[in-house]
Structure formats: C-alpha cells, structure tokens
Structure 1
Amino acid sequence: MKMLNLKPLFVASAVLLASGFALQAQAEDESQLIKRGEYLSRLGDCMACHSLPGKPDFAGGLAIESNLGTIYATNITPDKTHGIGNYSEQQFSDAVRKGILPDGSRLYPAMPYPAYAKISDEDLHALYVYFMKGVQPSAEQVPETKLSFPFSQRWGMRFWNWAFTAEKPFQPIGGASAEVNRGAYIVESLGHCGSCHTPRGFAMNEEALDSSNAAFLAGGSLNNWEVPSLRGLPRWSEQEIVDYLQTGRNDKAATGGEMKAVVEHSSSHMTDADLKAIAAYLKFLGGNPPLQAYDMQAAQVTEAKLTAAKNLTEGERLYLDNCGACHFVSGKGAPGIFPELDQATIVNAKDPAGLIHTILQGAQQPSTAKAPSTLAMPGFGQRLNDEEVAQLATFVRQGWSNNAPAVTPAQVAEVRKSLKHGE
C-alpha cells in the first residue's frame, strides 16, 4: 500500500496559517497607527480649523480672519477630488512641514507649518495613515482663498519661508527632564502654541520658534485680542494649568476667545501625562514676572465699598447690577465656576479689547469630558451703551488690586463695530 506524502499539505497549511497571522498582525499594526494618528491630530488641533459645525469632520471651509484677509481652511479628508486622497506620504509631509502643495503652490502660514516642521517622522507617518484610512472622505468643496495684491501672489511665500522658517526637527532641551522635553515637543511642534502666544514681526512672522529665544511664548495679539505670555505662568500652579487645558477653567480663570476651540477640540482630549508635561515645560520656561504685586488693602477697600453700596460711581453701580452675582464684591468669583477679575490677565491687558469683547458678547465655557457643564456669561451689548461699557470696564480694570488704564467709549465703539462685521 502506497503511503500519501502529507508534507506538502502541512507546509502549505503552515504557510497559509503564517500568512493569516501576518495579515492579522498587519491589520492590528495599522489599527494602532490609525488610533495614534487620531490622537496626534488632536494634539495638532486639526479639527478646530478644518471642521465646521454640521459638516463632515476635516471637510474644511472655516473662514480664518487674518491681517492679510480671509483665508479658508482646506478639505483634508481623503477625498481624491476635493481633499488630499491623492497625496503620497512625501507630499503630505511637504504640505504639513513646509507649506508646499503637490502642484508646487505655497500655503499661507495660517497653516502653522513653521511649528509642524518639528513633527517627528514617526508621528508624521501615523498622521498620514490616519488621514488616509481613518477619516471618512468628503466631497465638500470649500470657498477659494482670494487675498488682495500683493498677498495673492503665493509664490512670494518662498522668500517668506526662507527668511522666517527653519526646516529642522525638534531639538530637545539639554539638561531638562524627559517630562519637560515631552511638553516642549508638544508645545513647539504639534501644539503650535507659538502661533498665537509669540509676538510677530513686521512681516507677520513669529519672532521665535522655540525656547532658545526669550520671545517664544512671550505674548502677542490675535484678532485685536491681547494674547498673554505663557512663560512661567507665575500665578498658576502646574495643576491649575492642567485643569485649564483639560476643562477650560480652573480656580482663577475660564477660557475665552480662540482658546475655547483649542480646549474643546484639542487639549481636553490629551492624556493626563501629556497635559502634565505641557505644564512642566511652561513652568520650566520662567522669565515672566508676576503681573503686579497683590495690593490687599486696595482690594479690601473696593470690597467694602461694594458691600456698603453707598456713594457708588457709575462703574461700581453697573458692576453690582450686572456682574456682582457671579464675580462677587471681592472680584474673586467662584473657584472652577466663575473666573477671578482681581489680577486677571484679560482685565489688566494693555489693550482692553478682549475685556470689552467679553462684556459686549459674553462667553461660554466648552463642554469637556472632565467638565461637561457649559456655563455661560451673557453679553451686555444690547443692554449697555458705549459709555456704560466704558465705565464698567474702567472700574473692573482699576478696582481691587487691578491697576490698568481707563477705557474710553471710542474703544468700546470700535470693538462693537468689529462684532457687527463678524470679525
């Protein structure tokens, strides 16, 4: 009787089994890459600029107001006609890190490629896999960006990039801890915090791109709001920095302006470890002295006068009528709920536009996983005229231990005008 040779069958089965395991492992690896890329997209805050309410994620269309004009965020879904579905990984890298599209045209630095240039190769690869395989394609066509001459000449960005960007990877800080360097990597690259918090030069360039320059994160201006320095944050503990980024509020402050979207779409999704690393890095920077010495006697005088409610100035009366219920006669608000006004950065800013904007239009805290409630401050633009807003803002800026210049009705009128034009 002739014996069957089963060896080839066993070999073939082993090969098929090994191939199956290999394919499963490959699928698991890709799944992990997609998950990692999704998290990195949160670190990079891609959602905030490239998504609109009621539209598919990353389908673009957001109107970004700049000193050059209105720039529309692009569709970055893997749609092959209206999105980035035809990009190779190198083309994706060039767009993200250098601001260069596949056809050779140049992006405006509303896309923060000067910071994204520091993204590591590994993180860039994970982002590419996520956007190509983890994002749903959308055929949404966004409005074309049309700036006036000479800003319409995108080829000129080649010279701007040569003068004001540095295409080099992230450089760890020598002698700093691993935690501080992790925070530095997030802040300087994906987080692109310098885009708003670093002063800009005559050509709208960031004056510094990393912590080697004391101008980095030293404060700036965005859409007529004075943006505070992040260097050291002397009034906040590391935990208060974490709380603010995670929930949009802490015992001293609450988010406002553009920062609300950052918390909502980006920092509230970060891991505790990454938030602590960011806080450690910002405290490590230092170099930012306290806003001013706390004047306890002046604070007590204001509190006592508001409590007595006699012989009030117009600004003090307006404060009690409109603000006192939440921020109290002490100006200290309620920890984690209503922000402090005494010594608050937005109150004492050199340019009062941010404070005026908040009084006129109000503010709303974002809903996050750790703080789902959406506490809102009403706007008083319909209730108070320019003179009254100026009186109220002046009192807040000069009450308690605050010591900032008075606000004029003309300044209020200017902010009110910008709100009517949707700026």
Structure 2
Amino acid sequence: MNKAIKVTIVGAAALLVAAVGIAKSVPYWFAPKMDNPPTVNIHDPELIAKGEYYARVADCVACHTAPGGKPFAGGLGMQTPLGAIYSTNITPDPETGIGNYSYADFERAVRRGVRPDNVSLYPAMPSVSYMIAKDDEIEAMYAYFMSAVEPVRQDNQASTIPWPANMRWPLAWWQLIFAQPREFAEDPTLTAQQNHGAYLVEGLAHCGACHTPRGIGFQEKSLSNRDSEQFLAGSVLEGWYAKSLRNEGVGLAIWSEDEIVEFLRTGRTHHTAAFGSMSDVVEKSTQYFTDEDLQAIASFLKTLQPRSGYAVDWQPNDDTTTAKLRSGNITEPGEIIYIQECATCHRLDGKGAPRVFPALAGNSIVFAEDPSSLIQVTLAGAKMADTKYDMMAFTMPGFYHLSNQDLADVLNFIRTGWGNHGSTISTRDIARMRRVVDHAPEHYVPQAAIREGAHHE
C-alpha cells in the first residue's frame, strides 16, 4: 500500500476516534449536571398541582403515550427520514422509567436533552424549547412526575434506524452545534401579555417543534421571532403540514385572536378543525390552558409579521362553484367525485356544518402552500379533538381506496373551488403521501401493559 494512502487512512481513523471521544465527552462539559441542585419537596400538593399544569402546557402526555397504552409509558412511534423512533417511558418506575432520576438528572434531560448516562436524546425531544423554562416550572414538573404519575413497568422500544445511523454519539455534536444554552429575552416592543405569550410559544408549549422549518441537521431553523422570520413559518413532519402561524395570507392573517383562542381551547372553529397531531395537542394539552395563557399566546401570534415576499392577506376569488354544483351540470371528474364522496358532509357550498363538518371554502388548510395535510387527511382520515367543549368528536373516513388520479382530481377541485386558489396537486404528490401512510410506524404497546391497564380499570 502506498505510504501516502496509509498516512491518510491512519489520519482519518485518528480523526474519527477523536470525534467519537470528543462527542462522548461533550455532555460532561457542554451540558453538565447541576452542581448544587435544589431540594424539591415532591410530596407538596401545591407544587404537584402546578407541575401537572406545566406538564400539560409542555404536552408531555401526547408524545409519551402510545394509542391504547398507559399514560407516559412511551411507545409512540414517530417517523423520521432515517426510520422510526419511539417515545420513552417517563413514569416513575425505577427500572424502566425515570423513578431513579434525581432532580439534577430530570432537569438535565428536560432542558439539555442528556440522559443520566451522558447519552444525548434524539432531537424529537424539544429540549431546545424547554431550555428557557423557569426553574420553578421544572421543579414542579419533577414533583408531579415523581409523586402523581402512575409507575408503569414497560421497557423502551428500540428505534428502527439502521446502523450506523443509529449510533448515538453524533447526537452530542448536534447538541453542541444546535442546542447552545439560551434564556428567554423579552421584546421591548411587545406588551407584557404578548411577551408572556412569546415565552409560552418559545418554551414549554414548543410550538416551533412542529411549525418551524427544519434544517439539514433536523434542527429548527429559528427558535424565536428575534432570530429570523423562519420562526413558525410552517413545516412538514410525518407527512403533516404544520401551517405557518405568521400573519400572512397562507398563515393566520384571516384568523382573529378570538378564533385562535377558540381553536386552541376546543380544536374547532366555525370554519375549521384540528386533525393529525394537532388534534392530540388540543385534546391532551391546550384545552387545559388557562384563559390568561390562551389569550397571551393568541396576542403574541398576531404580532408575527409575514415573511418577505408573502402576501399579507388572502382574498378569495369569485365563487362560481356553488351555482354550478346546484345546477346539476356536473361534468368534470373532480366535481363528480366530490358529489359522490364529499358533498353530504361538506355541502354543495363548501361551507360544511359549523363545529361538525369543517368548511372547505376559505379554509386555510385547503389552500395552504403545502398540500401535504390535505392529501394525508383525505387518504387516511382523521379524528377531531375530544374536549369538554363539544358533545361529540367526529371522525372523517379515509379515501385510500380511490385511485391517485381520482384523489388528485377531487383535491384540485377543492383547492380551486368556492373562490379558493391553491397550487395544483399531481398524482405523484398522492403517490408520495400514500407511501408515507403505508410506512407509518406501529406504536409499541406491550400486551402485558394492556392487560394491566384493563385490570386497574
């Protein structure tokens, strides 16, 4: 072997060893455990109650509970570009959960994304958001998890990410590059209420985890509105498009503060409804927010300016669809399929039924710049959030049985009907989303845990 090649190989190997060594040591110096952690009275009823509320704000239960599983026992499958990862058991079980975590262990995992064994958590854990949470909030959450959550013995499920991509040590480099320590900074141009809303949105509520575009390293491109206009500008995760929350035509420009509050509290307005992961967020989290927190969030969101080059407002075209459908002159494939499959619920005028069947006319999800959510909800169906504010939670059936061409035809009809104006959906778009639906990860719920849950109930 050529000497130069040998030197190159040896050098590359040395660099790799150095990278691994540094990565394994990163959590020690970059995310150290607390030197003098406070003593937390985990049996204080008032502290536990506060912790339960903060855990609701942080939406811990939605991610750490698999459908049909025990609360906080983990097993929820989340699809990534590399494979599926599963949420972990965060019940106080000492063997499979966090029962042996000290407060310093808990704080470090929540705020810095590092386990007690100095292994970094996957970026699906929104530690970059939780980092700005106040000390008393983290302490209260610790008391709640340690004293009020039922321990569940359930092992964590390994990811399906193949080797070598499943190696954890590179995550330390991710932490070093994308999870620099930060604190919440109030914006002097905002009111006290709006700054409180910004604190919730950037912190425990971690809205950016879904609604902010991700970069090449799966990092959020912006963690606050002070950083860039990419904050809350919309993103696709697991085939769902979390829409822009900025005040632009394809975002929240047509939403009032009261409508934002109503949506977060109930998962519905007279025009639209939450679906997909947002339905879980409303059902498990935001319906429990105080009026003060909901008003603060809505007030803050309405301060976000549109991105450069995006229209400030959205105006519908003239509605020629309703009259044509009512005339019975149905000739186009998309029109025919709509009459056959959709009109019974969404009506000929596209206005649906308030708080029962979402409107299609003027619904920002329908004409969103990215049609992923519209395609997926049509293919796979969806269930409304079940809250105390409405008597029933309705389920939309999926239309997976329709061909790619039929789905493209009807969705293009909907995206351009009743004055809507959205980009064209192709059969390739449908095929891509069909693959996403086909490869959705199965959630991990051991049969023993199901039997145990049934026994306790």
Deviation at 1:401, TM superposition (A): 1.8
Counterpart for residue 386 of structure 2: 367
Aligned mate of 1:295, from 305, 316, 330: 316
Shift of 1:111: 0.6
The residue aligned with 1:105 is: 119
Cα–Cα, structure 1 residues 239 and 404, in superposed 2: closer, same or farther, change >3 Å?
Answer: same
CA distance 1:314–1:136, shift in 2 (3 Å): same
Deviates more, 1:220-229 or 1:254-263: 220-229
- Cα distance, 1:49 vs. partner? 0.9
Counterpart residue number, 2:224: 210
The one-letter amino acid of 1:244's match is F
Q: Which amino acid aligns with 1:373?
A: M
In structure 2, distance between residues paired with 1:361 and 1:381:
6
In structure 2, the residue corresponding to 1:347 is in which secondary structure?
Answer: coil
Please point out which of 388, 401, 413 is paired with 2:431: 413
SS at match of 2:84: strand
DSSP 3-state at the match of 1:317: helix
- Corresponding residue to 1:228 among 231, 240, 243: 243
Deviation of the 1:343 alpha carbon:
3.2
1:356 aligns with 2:371: no
Gaps of 5+ in 1: 1-25
Question: 2:194 & 2:58 partners in 1: Cα distance?
Answer: 18
Deviations 1:384-407, CA, capped at 9 Å, x for gaps: 222211111111112122222332
RMSD after superposition? 2.0
Q: Does 1:396 align with 2:410?
A: no
Say if 1:50 and 1:76, in contact at 8 Å, map to a contact too: yes
Match of 2:26 in 1: none
Instruction: Could you list the structure 1 runs, at least 4 aligned residues long, displaced by more than 3 angstroms after superposition.
Output: 26-29, 288-293
CA contact (8 A) 2:351 2:361 kept: yes
Per-residue CA deviation, residues 174-229 of structure 1 (Å, 9 max, x unaligned), is: 23222112211111111111011001111111110112021110111111232211
Distance 1:68 1:114, change over 3 A: farther
Partners of 2:347 and 2:161 in 1: how far apart?
A: 47
Partner amino acid, structure 1, of 2:239: N
SS, match of residue 44 in structure 2: helix
* Selected match of 2:260 from 241, 245, 256: 241
The percentage of counterpart residues that share the same residue type is 41
Give the Cα–Cα distance (whole angstroms) in 2 for the partners of residues 65 and 291 of structure 1: 34
Contact 2:74 2:89 survives alignment (8 Å): yes
- Residue from 167, 175, 188 that aligns with 1:161: 175
Mark the structure with the bigger radius of gyration: 1
Number of aligned positions between the proteins: 395
CA distance in 1, matches of 2:189, 2:312: 29
Aligned counterpart, 2:110: 96
Query: Any stretches of 5+ residues in structure 2 without a counterpart?
Result: 1-39, 442-457
Shift of 1:290: 5.3
The match for 2:444 is: none
What is the alpha-carbon distance in structure 2 between the residues aligned to residue 196 and residue 314 of structure 1?
35
In the alignment, is residue 141 of structure 1 matched against residue 151 of structure 2? no
Which residue of 2 is the match for residue 16 of structure 1? none
Q: Please tell me whether the aligned partners of residues 226 and 350 of structure 1 are also in contact (alpha carbons under 8 angstroms).
A: no
Query: Which of 38, 63, 70 lines up with 2:84 in the alignment?
Result: 70
Alpha-carbon separation, structure 1, partners of 2:143 and 2:41: 12
Name the CA distance, whole Å, in 1 between partners of 2:366 and 2:199: 31
Amino acid at match of 1:225: W
Shift of 1:240: 0.6
What is the identity, as a one-letter code, of the residue corresponding to 1:183?
Answer: G
User: Residue 385 and residue 356 in structure 1: after superposition, are their counterparts in 2 closer, same or farther (change >3 A)?
Assistant: same
- Distance (whole Å) between structure 2 residues aligned to residue 211 and residue 294 of structure 1: 26
Asked if structure 1 preserves the Cα contact closer than 8 Å seen for 2:330 and 2:336, the reply is no
Q: Distance in 2 between matches of 1:179 and 1:351?
A: 32
Q: Which residue of 2 aligns with 1:306?
A: 325
What is the distance in 2 between the residues matched to 1:332 and 1:294?
16
Counterpart position of 1:332 = 351
Pairwise CA distance, 1:313? 1.0
Answer whether contact 2:316 2:421 (CA < 8 A) is retained.
Answer: no
1:172 aligns with 2:186: yes
Alpha-carbon spacing, 1:366–1:137, altered in 2? closer, same or farther (3 Å)? same
Question: Cα distance, 1:359 vs. partner?
Answer: 1.6
Q: What's the offset of the Cα at 1:137?
A: 1.3
CA-to-aligned-CA distance 1:122-155 (integer Å, 9 cap, x gap): 1011011111111121111121235324432212
* Distance in 1 between residues matched to 2:182 and 2:315, nearest whole Å: 43
CA–CA separation in structure 1 for the residues paired with 2:345 and 2:388: 24
**Alpha carbons 2:50, 2:140 under 8 Å: kept:** yes
> For 1:198, which of 212, 215, 218 is the aligned residue?
212
- What's the CA shift string for 1:338-372, capped at 9, x where partnerless? 22212323222333332222222222211101124
- 1:93 counterpart SS class: helix
More deviation, 178-187/42-51:
178-187
State how 1:18-29 maps to structure 2 within 5 Å: none
Q: Distance in 2 between matches of 1:236 and 1:78?
A: 41
Residues 1:113 and 1:293: Cα distance change in structure 2 (over 3 Å): closer
Q: Structure 1's 28 and 97: CA in aligned 2 closer, same or farther, altered over 3 A?
A: closer
Q: TM-score, normalised by structure 2?
A: 0.82
Name the CA distance, whole Å, in 1 between partners of 2:371 and 2:354.
24
Say which SS state the counterpart of residue 365 (structure 2) adopts: helix
1:117–1:166 contact (8 Å) kept in structure 2: no
Change (3 A) 1:401 1:280: same
The within-5 A match list for 1:36-55 is 36-55=50-69
Query: Is the contact made by 1:235 and 1:290 (CA closer than 8 Å) also made in structure 2?
Result: no
Give the conservation status (yes or no) of the 8 Å contact 1:291–1:343.
no
Normalised TM-score (structure 1):
0.88
SS of the residue corresponding to residue 344 of structure 2 reads: helix
Name which of structure 1's ranges 325-334 and 238-247 shifts more when overlaid on structure 2: 325-334
- Residue equivalent to 1:316: 335
Match for residue 95 of structure 2?
A: 81
Give yes or no for the alignment of 1:341 onto 2:360: yes
1:264 to 283, 288, 293: 283
